[in-house]
Amino acid sequence: MPTSTVQKMRPWAASPKDRALTGLSVLLSVLTAILIVAVTPMKGKLAYFALFFLAWFVIDSLFVVRKQGSKGVRDGLAAKVTLFGAVIVSMAVFSILWATISKGVKGLNLAFVTENMREASLFDPIGKGGILHAILGTLMLIAIAIIFSVPMGILTALYLTEIKGRAVGLIQFLVQAMSGVPSVVAGLFIYAAIILNTPLRSSGFLGGLALTILMVPTVTRTAQEVLNLVPRDLREAGLAMGATQWKTVALVVVPAARSGLITATILGVARIAGETAPLLFTVGVFDSYNFNPFKGDQGTIPTVVWRGLMGGTPESVQRAWSAILVLLIVVLIMFVLARSFGSKSPKK
């Protein structure tokens, strides 16, 4: 069989002529935008961007209307509006990333991630001292918050999805209200409830508790959503074999939702990793290692950033940017680890 004579075709793809027209309309729009900026008082990147899209809406519609009529124009407009939104959002994300990387990378060196600040001050030249103490402190706080909030969040979600007791409405309401709590309030709560009323003073443990208050609602709501996705069939299959509800949940429902529950944890960590305000009341600031989570102030990356920016000198601000970059990298590494750990379970 001479199968090689059959040509692969994509009749639905844009023809060269279509592409030329699209290119032409984009080119015309760019030129229009440049022209308008040149002859009017409007200035700046944002002006180019907005004018380009406006011009493109008009010019491309003129091209489309001949071929596809008003329906095609509306379709094209809808597509462009969504593209416009997507571009704006990604510009925001990428400019944050770019600012962090471009400014932070200048202050990065080996000492920055392997030393502490006991012998150095924020105002010393870059290269002296580092923020390892703050990296370890942040990791410790995240670990404490995970230890408390993941079991609490998942158990609450199980109550909401599996037990469905009388308090479902109330708990649902409280969880939603809690996820709107400003982070500074969480810190103040721990400060007012524990530090003012007990002999306990600021420590990593109390900071972890403050972060737990912020993390629990995120974990609960996400866990609830993924548990609701587990088909009722699976629960019934477990129960139909003479299992108790507890056994069905532990052996069937939770394993089936495993990767989603890991996602819930990741989202919770993302919520708290950069929190600064609650830590100021509960953990304080510290320039060296403190491996005791129950006693003494603790260095954390967000407070290093905060102090660096407050410092105001080029060196201290540089340290702040580099610390932000380190925080991004630390969180990224945690996510990748959690994802690869989660994907060991079967996908389908």
Partner 1 sequence: MNESVQLTQNGTHMSDQPKNTTPSSLSDVAAKRAETKIAGTQPLGTGLEARGVHAWFDKHHALEDVSLDFSAGTVTALIGPSGCGKSTFIRTLNRMHEFIPHTSMAGQVLLDGKDIYEPGIDVTKIRLQIGMVFQKPNPFPSMTIGENVLSGLKLAQLKVDNQEDLLEECLTRAGLWTEVKDRLGAHAGGLSGGQQQRLCIARALAVKPKVLLMDEPCSALDPGSTLRIEETISQLSKSMTIVIVTHNMQQAARVSDYTAFFLSDGGPGQMIEVGPTNEIFSRPRDERTENYVTGRFG
- The CA distance from 300 to 138, in Å, is 5
Tell me how far, at minimum, the Cβ of 166 lies from partner 1, in Å: 13
The phi-psi region of residue 207 (left if phi > 0; otherwise alpha if psi is between -120 and 50; otherwise beta) is alpha
Residue from the set 204, 238, 299, 308 that interacts with partner 1 by CB under 8 A: 238
Residue from the set 83, 86, 163, 237 that interacts with partner 1 by CB under 8 A: 237
In this complex, which beta carbon is closest to partner 1, that of residue 291 or of residue 341? Answer: 341
Tell me how far, at minimum, the Cβ of 248 lies from partner 1, in Å: 7
In this complex, which beta carbon is closest to partner 1, that of residue 69 or of residue 255? Answer: 255
State the burial class of residue 114 (Cβ atoms within 10 Å of its Cβ: 0-12, 13-18, 19+): exposed
Positive/negative CA dihedral, 324, 287, 283, 306? negative
**Residue 346 is encoded by which pair of tokens?**
């079967």
Q: For helices 258-272 and 314-342, what crossing angle results, to 10°?
A: 170
Tell me how far, at minimum, the Cβ of 256 lies from partner 1, in Å: 5
The answer to whether residue 11 forms part of the interface with partner 1 (CB under 8 A) is no
What x/- string results for residues 156 through 175 when contact with partner 1 is judged by CB under 8 A?
--------x-----------
- The CA distance from 89 to 141, in Å, is 31
The region of 58-66, 97-105, 185-193, 250-258 touching partner 1 under the rule CB under 8 A is 250-258
Residue from the set 79, 81, 155, 251 that interacts with partner 1 by CB under 8 A: 251
The answer to whether residue 270 forms part of the interface with partner 1 (CB under 8 A) is no
Residue 14 DSSP symbol? P
Across the chain, where does the E strand assignment appear?
none
Residue 4 DSSP symbol? G
The answer to whether residue 248 forms part of the interface with partner 1 (CB under 8 A) is yes
The answer to whether residue 346 forms part of the interface with partner 1 (CB under 8 A) is yes
The answer to whether residue 344 forms part of the interface with partner 1 (CB under 8 A) is no
Query: For the chain, how many helices (H) and strands (E)?
Result: 14, 0
**Residues whose CB falls within 8 Å of the CB of residue 8, separated by 6 or more in sequence, listed in order:** none
Residue from the set 19, 74, 118, 247 that interacts with partner 1 by CB under 8 A: 247
The region of 7-15, 22-30, 191-199, 233-241 touching partner 1 under the rule CB under 8 A is 233-241
Report the interface residues with partner 1, using CB under 8 A: 164, 231, 233-244, 247-248, 251-252, 255-256, 258, 345-346, 348
